[in-house]
Amino acid sequence: MEPNFWEDKPKAEKILKEKKLYEDLVNSYEVSLKQFNEIIDLYDLALEENNQLVLRESENNILKLHKNIKKNEIKCFLSNEADSLDVYLEIHAGAGGTESQDWAEMIRRMYIKWASSKNYKCELINEHKGDEAGIKSSTIRINGNFVYGFLKSESGIHRLVRISPFDSGARRHTSFASVWVYPVIDESIKVELLDKDLRIDTYRSSGAGGQHVNTTDSAVRITHIPTKIVVQCQNDRSQHKNKDTCMNMLKARLYEHELKKKEQQLKSSEDSKSEIGWGHQIRSYVLHPYRMVKDNRTNYESSSPDKVLDGEIDEFLESSLYKLND
């Protein structure tokens, strides 16, 4: 390690994070290779002795090993510039009032449960409660290894079909919620913000039912005039801290905006561009008349929507990564 390695702390931490990923991959490869050789030796022996029990056990062990190798392959896809960064995840309810607002909260819960299963840290940045239930909008921050790499394909429209719990006639309703995922940039990434390009508004933080969290204008909203990007934060009683959070979010949004522009320039066809585009319906969650979750881009399906909504979305995330790296 060079003597001046820690002079640029953010850069050093990023290098160490990447180093650990590569070390884990190498170690996992060596363990997998050893396991594979042991399984093959055992399988050959069982084949000679016609031991059906050991043969079935060997076949099951091969399937388990294949899953582990697949997970390592997925990690190899996380090599883009921003993949190692944390994320802001922004959720907005679509048209439809309480139905969509309840759906938006279900979506937020799904990502929080997923993050919890990975021992990632979640922080509520902003929340606008629904009129009767759910949320109109919310922003959460998720911190963990390569979170942006895993979640970057989740931006888009999520559709729910179910029998409404809010409809006395028990009719089927379709609801929509939009998700936007963008990376939390660190100090090593420079994004220039000009005062003339910003409009900063303050307002009172409010909770459910219009109750004020406090009586000062502590909530902050910043609009980036050239791109019309808007960010807001009301999770702290300090206006200064909320403004700092907003500025970090805005830098992250602008950085993500530039990343998307670069990605689109590399795409060879309009079809592939639209697949990752904002405003595109990416996934359907059907609870009635049948039960299924289907990704519209990869065609991956699950017949267990309850498990998916409880945060078991790894297969969907992995399928998207495979699609991006075709």
Q: Token digits for 153? A: 């394909």
pLDDT tens for residues 172-189?
A: 999 999 999 999 886 667
Residues 130 and 114 reside in one and the same domain: yes
| pLDDT for res 192 | 84
| pLDDT, averaged across the chain | 86
- 255 and 326 fall within a common domain: yes
Name the more confident of 303 and 6: 303
pLDDT value of position 275: 36
Residue type, 159: R
pLDDT at 188: 64
The two three-digit tokens of residue 182, written as one number: 């963008």
Residue 324 resides in a domain: yes
pLDDT of residue 265: 56
Q: Does some domain include residue 66?
A: yes
**Is residue 96 a contact partner of residue 131, using CB atoms and an 8 Å limit?**
no
The Cα-based distances of 144 to 123, 183, 270 in angstroms read: 12, 12, 33
Q: Return the higher-pLDDT residue of 68 and 55.
A: 55
Q: Please tell me the predicted confidence (pLDDT) of residue 209.
A: 41
CATH assignment of the domain containing 209: 3.30.70.1660
**Residues above pLDDT 70, as percent of the chain:** 90
Number of domains in the chain: 2
Single out the residue in 76, 92, 114 at which a domain terminates: 76
Residues 39 and 176 in one domain: no
Residues 204 and 240 in one domain: yes
Q: Can you tell me the distance from the alpha carbon of 155 to that of 259, in angstroms, rounded to the nearest whole number?
A: 14
Cβ contact 207:218 at 8 Å: no
Residues 59 and 152 in one domain: no
Name the band, by pLDDT with cuts 50, 70 and 90, for residue 75: confident
pLDDT at 13: 76
Percent of the residues in the chain that have a pLDDT greater than 90, as a whole number: 60
How far is Cα 110 from Cα 160, in angstroms, rounded to an integer? 13
Query: Which of 55, 76, 97 delimits the end of a domain?
Result: 76
**pLDDT tens profile 130-182:** 989 999 999 999 999 889 999 999 999 999 999 999 888 888 999 999 999 99
Q: Note the pLDDT of residue 258.
A: 81
Minimum mean pLDDT range among 69-73, 282-286, 299-303: 69-73
- 111 and 60 part of one domain: no
Sheet holding 198-203, edge to edge: 198-203, 219-224, 229-233
For residue 189, CA distances in Å to 121, 156, 251, 255 come to 22, 25, 9, 9
Number of separate helices (H) and strands (E) present in the chain: 8, 11
pLDDT tens sequence across 226-260: 999 999 999 888 999 999 999 999 999 998 888 87
Write out the residue range of the structural domain in which residue 167 sits.
Answer: 81-265+278-326
Q: For position 187, what pLDDT does the model report?
A: 64
